[in-house]
Amino acid sequence: MYAFDIERPTSVADAVAALKDEDAQALGGGQTLIPTLKQRLAAPSKLVSLTGIADMQGIANDGDTLRIGGATTHATVAVDTADTYPALADLASHIGDPAVRNRGTIGGSLANNDPSACYPAVALASGATIITNTREIAADDYFQGMFTTALEDGEIVTAISMPVPEKANYQKFVQPASRFALVGVFVAKFADGVRVAVTGASNEGVHRWTEAEDALSADFSAGAIAGLTVSADNLIADLHGSPEYRAHLVKVMTGRAVAAAS
Amino acid sequence: MTTVTMTVNGKPVSENVEGRTLLSTLLRDDLRLTGTHIGCDTSQCGACVVHVNGEAVKSCTMFAIEADGAEVSTIEGQANADGSLNVIQQAFQDHHGLQCGFCTPGMVMTTASLLKENPKPTEAEVRTYLEGNICRCTGYHNIVKAIMAASGQDVSAIAAE
Ligand SMILES: Cc1cc2nc3c(=O)[nH]c(=O)nc-3n(C[C@H](O)[C@H](O)[C@H](O)COP(=O)(O)OP(=O)(O)OC[C@H]3O[C@@H](n4cnc5c(N)ncnc54)[C@H](O)[C@@H]3O)c2cc1C
Ligand code: FES
Ligand code: FES
C-alpha cells in the first residue's frame, strides 16, 4: 500500500468536508477497498472512515419502508431485518463469510457496485432510494453499469430507503471460491407489480429482467416464466461460466426465487 | 504517525502507527503476537481472524487506527487463566483438528464467535460458518468434529471418523 492518512469523523458534515481534499476517498468496511489498496490499484492521499458516524448506523422501520444507514454492516442487516424484511436479511446473511459481514457495509457495497455483488440486486428489485449527503437517487437511475454508479466524487451514501415487498426471495448461485454470486436473482412482489433484478450475469452489472416482471405481474408462479428465454448477448464470460450458462442460470434462479418467495 | 490505544487480551497497549498499518501488522510486528497468522493477506483464508469488540474480523483487512479504543482478543488470550487449553483448543487437540496448525488460530477464533452466537450448531451450520477459514491440511472433517465436541455434542456421526 502507498502511504495515506486516515480520518475518523463522527458526523456526515465532517466527512463531506474531509472528502473535499484532493485524492481523499471514503472508507466503509474496507472489505473491498483494503485489498484494492494492497494491490496498489488505488492511491488515495487520505481515507475518510465512515463507520464512526452514528447517523449512518442502524435500521429504522416506518411501516412499509426500511431506512438503513449507509455504514450499517451486513451482519447487522442480517439480524435486524429478519422480522421486517426476511429476504433482505437472508441475502445479507449469505454475503461472504462471518468476518466479512462484521466489517462490510451496505453503503460500501452499493458504492462499489461489483457486477456480482448481492446488495445491488435487492436495492434494484425493491425499488430502493439511495440517499446521499446531497440528494436522493432512485435505484433505477443509480446503477449505471459494472462498478459504475450515479455517485459524484466525494458523495457519500448516507442511507438506503428500502420499500418492503409483499413477498420476496433472493436466489444466489454461489461461486464457491469467492462466495459472490455467479448469478443471483432477487424477485420482489409488490401490490402494483413484480420487480426482478439480476446480478452476476451481465457486463452491464445489475439489471432488471422486464419480460419476467411482466409475466410474473400477471401470474406470480414459477410456471409463468417457463416460455421466456434469456439472451446470452452481453452476459459475462469468464472461467466460471459462459454467457449461455449464465443465461440459463438467470431463468432457473428466477423460477426458484418465485417458488420460494414469502 | 498516529498513536492508537486499545486493549489486547485484556492488557492496555499504545503504539504509533501509520494510516496504512493493518491491525495484523500491529499485532504481529509491534506487539509480537505472532499467533495471528497471515495466510493470504487478501481476506480469503481467515488465518488472521481476531475479535474486535467481541466480533470476528480478518485483521489483515482492517486498519490498526480503526481499532483505536477497541478491545481486541487474539489466540494468545484464549487459554484458561492457569495456562491450560480452553474447551475449543482442547477439542481441536483431542479430535486432531489440526495438522500443520497454520489455520488453527483463525479456526479457534472463528469457532469462539460461532459458539457465542449459536452454542449448539448443527454440522451444516458449522461448515457454513467456516466458509471464510481455509485449511489446506485436514480436509475439515476433524475441525468440524472438534467444534461439535467443543459445543458438547455427539461427534460419532461425523464423517472421517
Ligand atoms: C471474502 C469476501 C467475500 C465477499 N463476498 C461477497 C458476496 O458474497 N456478496 C457481496 O455482495 N459482496 C461480497 N463481498 C464484498 C463485501 O460485501 C464488501 O463489504 C463490499 O463490497 C464493500 O463494502 P465495504 O463497506 O467493505 O466498502 P469499502 O471496501 O470500504 O469501500 C468500497 C468502495 O466504496 C466506497 N465507499 C464505501 N462506503 C461508502 C459510502 N457510504 N458512500 C460512498 N462511497 C463509499 C469506497 O470509497 C470504495 O470505493 C465479499 C468480500 C470479501 C473480502
Ligand atoms: S491473512 Fe487475512 S484472510 Fe488470509
Ligand atoms: S492444519 Fe494446516 S492449514 Fe489447517
Q: What are the start and end residues of each CATH 3.30.465.10 domain in chain A?
A: 54-163
C-alpha cell at A239: 472461467
Which pLDDT score, from 0 to 100, does residue A25 have? 97
Measured in angstroms, how far is the CA atom of residue B47 from the centroid of ligand 3?
A: 9
The one-letter code for the residue type at A145 is G
CB-based contact A99 B19, cutoff 8 Å: no
Cα–Cα distances in angstroms (integers) from residue B83 to residues A43, A178, B75, B88, B90, in the given order: 45, 38, 13, 14, 12
Q: Spell out the long-range contacts of B39-44 with Cβ–Cβ below 8 A and sequence spacing 24 or more.
A: B39/B102, B39/B103, B39/B106, B39/B134, B40/B134, B41/A38, B42/A35, B42/A38, B43/A31, B43/A34, B43/A35, B43/A99, B43/A100, B44/B132, B44/B134
Q: What are the start and end residues of each CATH 3.30.390.50 domain in chain A?
A: 167-261
Ligand having the closest approach to the CA of B46: 2
Q: Which runs of consecutive H residues, i.e. helices, occur in A73-232?
A: 74-80, 86-93, 98-103, 106-112, 119-125, 139-142, 210-218
Q: CA of B1: which chain A residue's CA is closest?
A: A5
Classify domain A54-163 by CATH number. 3.30.465.10
- What ipTM goes with this model? 0.96
CATH (one of 1.10.150.120, 3.40.720.10, 3.40.190.10, 1.10.260.40) for B87-150: 1.10.150.120
CB-based contact B61 A37, cutoff 8 Å: no
Q: What are the start and end residues of each CATH 1.10.150.120 domain in chain B?
A: 87-150
CATH 3.30.43.10 fits A5-49, yes or no: yes
Which pLDDT score, from 0 to 100, does residue B160 have? 53
Residues with Cβ within 8 Å of B156's Cβ and at least 6 positions away in sequence, in order, are: none
Residues within a 6 A CB radius of ligand 2: B 38-41, 43-48, 58, 60
B158 or A245, greater pLDDT: A245
C-alpha cell at A210: 422486464
Which pLDDT score, from 0 to 100, does residue A177 have? 86
What's the CA gap between A34 and A39, in Å, rounded?
Answer: 9
- Nearest-CA distance A102 → chain B (Å): 7
Cα–Cα distances in angstroms (integers) from residue B72 to residues A24, A52, B12, B96, in the given order: 28, 17, 10, 28
CB-based contact B66 A37, cutoff 8 Å: no
Fold exhibited by the domain A167-261: Enolase-like; domain 1 (3.30.390)
Neighbours of A57 (CB within 10 A): 17
What's the CA gap between A142 and A148, in Å, rounded?
Answer: 9
Measured in angstroms, how far is the CA atom of residue B55 from the centroid of ligand 1?
A: 18
Closest to B58 (Cβ–Cβ): which among A47, A99, A179? A99
- Sheet with A65-69: strands ordered across: A59-61, A65-69, A157-163, A129-132, A136-138
Give the gyration radius of chain A's Cα atoms. Answer: 18
Q: What is the mean pLDDT of residues B11-40?
A: 98
Which pLDDT score, from 0 to 100, does residue B158 have? 79
Measured in angstroms, how far is the CA atom of residue B90 from the centroid of ligand 3?
A: 16
C-alpha cell at B128: 457454513
Q: Which residues of A touch B50 (CB under 8 A)?
A: none
Q: How many CA atoms lie within 13 A of A61 on its CB side?
A: 10
Fold exhibited by the domain B2-77: Ubiquitin-like (UB roll) (3.10.20)
Q: What is the mean pLDDT of residues B98-105?
A: 98
pLDDT band (50, 70, 90) for residue B157: confident
Residue A119 in contact with residue A90, Cβ under 8 Å?
Answer: no
Residues with Cβ within 8 Å of B14's Cβ and at least 6 positions away in sequence, in order, are: B3, B4, B5
Which pLDDT score, from 0 to 100, does residue B161 have? 44
Q: In chain A, which stretches have pLDDT less than 70?
A: none
**DSSP symbol at A149:** B
Q: Which residues of A touch B61 (CB under 8 A)?
A: 30-31, 34-35, 103
What tens digit of pLDDT does each residue of B11-20 get?
999 999 999 9
